[in-house]
Amino acid sequence: MLYLVIGGSGSGKSAYGEALLSRAEAKEKFYIATMEVFGREDRQRVERHRQMRAGKGFITIERARKIEGIWLGGGPSGGAVCLKGTQQPSGRDEGIGPERERPAALLESLSDLAANELFGESDEGLPEKGLPDGDDVEDAGGAWTGPGHRSDGLEGPGGLGEGLEGQAAAAFRRIQKGILHLREQCGLLVVVTDAVFSDGTLYPPETEAYIRLLGRLNAWTAGLADQVTEVVCGIPLQLKAGRAGQRADGTALADRRPMA
């Protein structure tokens, strides 16, 4: 099951995502932290999140990019996490076990991952893994097909230049593949992301490229997700109901729609 949680800065989305992970019945619960630390404010944020998840039994994986290189153990025999490549670890069970036997994971956050993939450097020791043309990536929200064009007919980040356009397209496809890779391994995958699209401010081309990339990723992930929740001022608003009206923890889903 895939659960998308979206909200603005300080909205409570991270706490809500962690609560979903805590309530999961999985024996192994992974917290995939994607933030790169560049200054004091970042360090304070990381420390705050560490305190939030202290004592919850999460297995933390710090991974700034290339999440398709993460293998989580599934099934009663346990598993392994492979962080230095994209090959399946030896000794892992072949195939995917029943959903209740798979681990649960929280990806915190899609917005950080998008920035890292678009602007960050390659991980040392991890080879670049390009996606060949024709790679079968599920597309619930459209994808770039070339500079300034997408398969869904929407305009690409116009005027950004072919180099930046190509970077955004490659980042989009890598993250798509990574989310599908994690979803296949998990009984529950919670993805936390930011809403950064409402201020109406004009930004430099690089920032505009990031905003467009995150918007496309949010739309694609929401289309793929079983449930989507927006957290506003600590209040969860269900935007997309789950399987047979169930929350990620299996409890009944109340009809809580935002007021028109």
* φ and ψ at residue 107, rounded to 5 degrees: -100, 115
Q: Looking at per-residue confidence, does 251 or 187 come out higher? A: 187
52-68: pLDDT as tens digits: 777 778 999 989 989 99
Is pTM beyond 0.75? Reply is: no
| Residue 21 and residue 106 in contact, taking contact as beta carbons nearer than 8 Å | yes
Mean pLDDT of the region 177-183: 97
84-140: pLDDT as tens digits: 333 444 444 444 555 667 999 999 999 999 999 999 765 443 333 333 233 334 444
**Which pLDDT score, from 0 to 100, does residue 221 have?**
97
**Which pLDDT score, from 0 to 100, does residue 19 have?**
94
Give the span between the Cα atoms of 110 and 136, in whole angstroms: 21
pLDDT, mean over the chain: 75
**HEC readout, 27-50:** CCEEEEECCCCCCHHHHHHHHHHH
**Which pLDDT score, from 0 to 100, does residue 210 have?**
94
Give the span between the Cα atoms of 226 and 235, in whole angstroms: 20
